[in-house]
A = this chain, B = another copy of it.
Amino acid sequence: MARSAASARTDKTTGELAYARAVDLMFERGYHGTSVRDVARAVGVQMSTLYHYYPSKQDLLMAIMTTAMQEMTERVAEAIDDLPSAREQLAAAVHAHIMFHADRLKEAVVADTELRSLEGDDLQLILEMRDNYEGMFRAIIIEGQKAGELRATDARLTTRAILGAITDVANWYRPKGRLTLNAISAEYVGLFFEGIAEVSGPSA
């Protein structure tokens, strides 16, 4: 088969390269800020060639978002599997979420921010995947409250607070930064469980 120069130079097919370059560009400039021409130029191929792999620009975005949501969900599900306590499960889930947002940072950010660029059924599908993902976290919290491990806070709001905080990691994390990923993850878990108040402090 005829392969593009760029595709032959790497071990990826043109379709896989298109996915990767689209992730890069949409991460930097957003969906509407990225033209199909930009992606084609980055792949080293004509624009019409991309339409051989993805029927539309929207389908290219959907491929990114479904892949990201699906793999993130799998990672968290695997991480909490068989853990005995809510505390351990929640810590593992937070850790898995942060890890995914670090080493698949661009896909995660695109998935987190381009919801508004989706239309119709595509939007509904991703919303369902998000609800399902959030539900995993909320279920842990609710079970932990039933078991007496966790305080009786509003489960839905608590879930949003935790997810809001750890999703934001993708907005500032730098691999060469001051803290390792494990340190970041551990510190977040400590914050969530124990809070910031000094128990023996003046206000206790």
Contacts and interface: CB of A to CB of B under 8 A. Distances in A.
A85 B201 CA distance: 12
Contacts of A28: 116
Given A158-B191, A160-B168, A168-B163, A202 B33 contact: no
Interface of A: 28-33, 85, 87, 113, 116-117, 141, 144, 147-151, 153-154, 156-158, 160-169, 171-172, 178-179, 184, 187-188, 190-199, 201-203
Complex copy number for this chain: 2
16 contacts: A30-B116, A31-B33, A87-B203, A144-B196, A147-B202, A151-B195, A154-B179, A156-B178, A157-B179, A165-B165, A168-B168, A191-B195, A193-B196, A193-B197, A194-B197, A195-B195
A169 B168 CA distance: 12
A149 B197 contact: yes
Contacts of A196: 141, 144, 150-151, 153, 158, 192-193
B201 A150 contact: yes
Contacts of A192: 191, 195-196
Given A167-B168, A168-B160, A192-B196, A148 B202 contact: yes
Among A144, A154, A162, chain B packs the most CB atoms within 10 A around the CB of A154
